[in-house]
Chain A
Amino acid sequence: MGKTLLHKVWDAHTVRELPSGQTQLFVGLHLVHEVTSPQAFEMLRERGLTVRFPKRTFATVDHIVPTDLVQRPFVDDLAEEMMDAIEQNAAEFEIPLFNIDDQRQGVVHVIGPELGLTQPGMTIACGDSHTSTHGAFGAVAFGIGTSQVRDVLATQCLAMDPLKVRRIEVSGALSEGVYAKDVILHIIGLLGVNGGVGYGYEYGGSVIEAMSIEERMTVCNMSIEGGARVGYVNPDQTTYDYLNGRPHAPRNFESAVEWWESMASDEDAEYDDLVQIDGREIGPTVTWGITPGQSVGVDQALPELDAFADADRSTVREAFDYMDFEPGQRIAGTKVDVAFIGSCTNGRLSDLREAARVARGRKVASGVRALVVPGSQQVRAAAEAEGLHEIFAEAGFQWRGAGCSMCLAMNPDKLQGRELCASSSNRNFKGRQGSPTGRTLLMSPAMVAAAAVAGEGADVRELVG
């Protein structure tokens, strides 16, 4: 029986079995950002420890960074204090920091790949749950908490429990107007928000194979919303073509490709579970509730309460109450107040291109606040080189600097009151976008652009194609 990529990477990075029964895993790349690291560096100081592999550690700032006015000191004292902390920690522990004045700065899960730091066969860790994004390259990438950030800083290792592997095969092809975001929302809707507990997800099949690396990142990014610990796609020519020539890509590229190929899952690999999905059945998908699993086709009626098992009904009722929606209602035609295009799920160049395709020659509906926030400074520059910023500006979208922005509420970009936001981000939890009563509809960036111009939930298939 062959092995999966996850097991091969696991074995290659095993330092030893710990007395606790866990595995001590070496971490090939450690990415650090301003929110989850200051306490970890402090713990290091308290114990008199240093960073074990500073050259395998890279830091950036993304969560708290304002996306309009980035002059220091920031208006927000608390944000300024966090900036000071990461600058000081990076200097003291000799870690490279891609700061706001550095063109390599951006959302941590956008810049790792674009700098070529993220590579197949690696273990990657970051104090952020969406670290699973890096799995798009065939890396095994863990989101970790602050105590584990401390562990990785001090030892370059993690104590981990073994994972099972579920292969999710999406066959056939996607129809026009259907994107990677729809695929992952569909998967989470199908398997549930805790369907992945105990598993790493391996995505494959013709739909995934046909995807660009950026689309694969969107899929892997939200593995965590499906409850999985990691998500990955086996590396292939698409992966190598993307990496070739990037600043941190291996110089001896051919021998790197040879090793990467050897790390991919064997054809006869044994999986703990297999799920098959027909790509033709996936349509433009939107969430309507308060978990990423509560989704429907944009043109479909919201489910009736009795469509759910007894155990789920109270959560479903809570979602309807919070969102102020009714069973039978459709998202298409539901008025929105805000449109947000960005985040580590959908803030890359291809996402902005698809959104611009919809925005071109149209106008944001009156009363809708619409933001486009590139995932990194490089994405911003590349988009501007193609003139995408002009298309957005002409349509009435705000064109912003790089950062997490309205994906979460740690910087000035926030929902107000009960605003309803069409968002290309990854979480629709209560209060996620900054207002304790704010409401989020997750969807693809093209669908967000469609909602922005329509002023209401809209089926992107009626605008493109």
Chain B
Amino acid sequence: MENSSVIKTITGRGVVVRGADIDTDRIIPARFLRTVTFEHLGAHAFEDDRASGDHPFDQARFQGASILLANANFGCGSSREHAPQALMRWGIKGFVAESFAEIFFGNCIAMGLPCVRVAAEDMQTLMDVVESDPAQEVAIDLEARQVRWTGGQVAADIADGPREQFLKGSWDSLGQLLAAGDQVENTARKLPYVAGF
């Protein structure tokens, strides 16, 4: 039986969130971090940006989308996992952007949400395609390193390590880390500040 954590392709409708440097304070404003669970965050994704009206997350044409399209440095700012958690709970299952902030990217991997990069011109094309027909399916294909739609495709990049983790279903880091067993203590014992100088 195949490992249920294996992720090869994410398929769904896209939602276009334009603009560079969209930070985690915009994805989930800090006041919503006053919570001990992630459960209710979905409703508050982009809350302050949405207040000014007509945010893509509120537009009828993008409802039910599961692939978020963004420009450069998406998710910059804080390490709050609340940001990808809010987006996931809104319905997002994968991200395509020109680039991602590192901690945001790492958080997404840990949650099983693939993030792939496409070139700026390709992102322009992709955003136009999705906006012209938001009902069509888009696919993030990790094996082929592509983002595809009915009428075309663009190359999508993801580093070998995270790609392997999705393809092998090993993105849930905790299981792997636990498997090291006593090796953890062995490493610790060799560190003078643990052993006592």
Chain A residues with CB below 8 A from B84, complex form: 145
B102 touches A227 (CB 8 A): yes
Q: Interface segment, B1-9, B58-66, B144-152, B182-190?
A: B182-190
Is A20's beta carbon under 8 Å from chain B?
Answer: yes
Interface string of B24-47 (1 = CB under 8 A from A): 011001110111111000000000
A42 touches B37 (CB 8 A): yes
A26 touches B21 (CB 8 A): no
Interface string of B53-91 (1 = CB under 8 A from A): 000000000000000000011001111111011000000
Chain A CB within 10 A, most for which of B49, B171, B187: B187
Chain B residues with CB below 8 A from A63, complex form: 33
Is A425's beta carbon under 8 Å from chain B?
Answer: no
Chain A residues with CB below 8 A from B178, complex form: 154-155
Is B129's beta carbon under 8 Å from chain A?
Answer: no
B20 touches A82 (CB 8 A): no
Q: Give the nearest-CB partner of A37 in chain B.
A: B36
Interface string of B155-169 (1 = CB under 8 A from A): 000011110110010
Is A434's beta carbon under 8 Å from chain B?
Answer: yes
User: Which size class do A's interface residues fall under?
Assistant: 35 or more
**Bound: A432/B21 CA distance, A:** 14
Min C-beta distance of A163 to chain B, whole Å: 10
Min C-beta distance of B112 to chain A, whole Å: 10
B184 touches A28 (CB 8 A): no
A13 touches B33 (CB 8 A): no
**Bound: A291/B170 CA distance, A:** 35
Chain A residues with CB below 8 A from B34, complex form: 64, 76, 78-79, 82, 410
List 24 A–B pairs whose Cβ atoms lie within 8 Å, in order of A's numbering. A13-B187, A15-B180, A15-B184, A20-B170, A20-B171, A21-B160, A21-B164, A35-B33, A36-B79, A63-B33, A81-B36, A85-B36, A121-B193, A145-B107, A145-B110, A151-B173, A155-B184, A159-B177, A194-B101, A197-B99, A227-B101, A229-B103, A409-B29, A427-B23
Interface string of A388-405 (1 = CB under 8 A from B): 000000000000000000
Query: A19-B176, A143-B79, A161-B159 given as contacts; is B21 within 8 A of A193 (CB)?
Result: yes
Chain A residues with CB below 8 A from B107, complex form: 145-148
A157 touches B26 (CB 8 A): no
**Bound: A259/B99 CA distance, A:** 39
Is A318's beta carbon under 8 Å from chain B?
Answer: yes
- Interface residue ranges of A371-386 to B (CB < 8 Å): none
- Interface residue ranges of A59-85 to B (CB < 8 Å): 63-64, 76, 78-79, 81-82, 85
Is A325's beta carbon under 8 Å from chain B?
Answer: no
Chain A residues with CB below 8 A from B183, complex form: 15-16
**Bound: A15/B183 CA distance, A:** 6
**Bound: A441/B37 CA distance, A:** 33
Is A436's beta carbon under 8 Å from chain B?
Answer: yes
B103 touches A19 (CB 8 A): no
A28 touches B194 (CB 8 A): yes
A410 touches B187 (CB 8 A): no
Is A416's beta carbon under 8 Å from chain B?
Answer: no
B31 touches A409 (CB 8 A): yes
**Bound: A290/B73 CA distance, A:** 14
Chain B residues with CB below 8 A from A145, complex form: 79-81, 84, 103, 106-107, 110
Q: Give the nearest-CB partner of A409 in chain B.
A: B30
Query: A15-B187, A19-B176 given as contacts; is B73 within 8 A of A39 (CB)?
Result: no
Q: Of A159, A198, A290, A315, which contacts B176 at CB under 8 A?
A: A159
Q: Of A12, A36, A429, which contacts B81 at CB under 8 A?
A: A36
Min C-beta distance of B126 to chain A, whole Å: 16
Min C-beta distance of B23 to chain A, whole Å: 5
Query: A15-B184, A147-B81, A427-B77 given as contacts; is B173 within 8 A of A159 (CB)?
Result: yes
Q: Of A18, A157, A161, which contacts B184 at CB under 8 A?
A: A157
Is A178's beta carbon under 8 Å from chain B?
Answer: no
**Bound: A341/B53 CA distance, A:** 34
A291 touches B21 (CB 8 A): yes
New A-B contacts (17) at CB < 8 Å, excluding given A42-B37, A63-B33: A15-B180, A26-B184, A28-B193, A35-B80, A39-B36, A129-B79, A145-B103, A154-B174, A161-B161, A194-B99, A227-B73, A229-B102, A255-B192, A312-B20, A318-B19, A427-B77, A429-B77
Chain A residues with CB below 8 A from B73, complex form: 193-194, 227
Chain B residues with CB below 8 A from A64, complex form: 34
Is A144's beta carbon under 8 Å from chain B?
Answer: yes
Q: Of B48, B81, B110, B170, which contacts A436 at CB under 8 A?
A: B48
Q: Give the nearest-CB partner of A253 in chain B.
A: B197
Q: Give the nearest-CB partner of A252 in chain B.
A: B197
Is A127's beta carbon under 8 Å from chain B?
Answer: yes
Is A156's beta carbon under 8 Å from chain B?
Answer: yes
- Interface residue ranges of A221-256 to B (CB < 8 Å): 224, 227, 229, 250-253, 255-256
Smallest CB-CB A-B distances: 6 pairs: A145-B107, A145-B81, A147-B110, A436-B48, A78-B34, A38-B36
**Bound: A436/B186 CA distance, A:** 50
Q: Of A127, A128, A194, A431, which contacts B25 at CB under 8 A?
A: A431
Is A171's beta carbon under 8 Å from chain B?
Answer: no
Q: Of B26, B37, B81, which contacts A431 at CB under 8 A?
A: B26
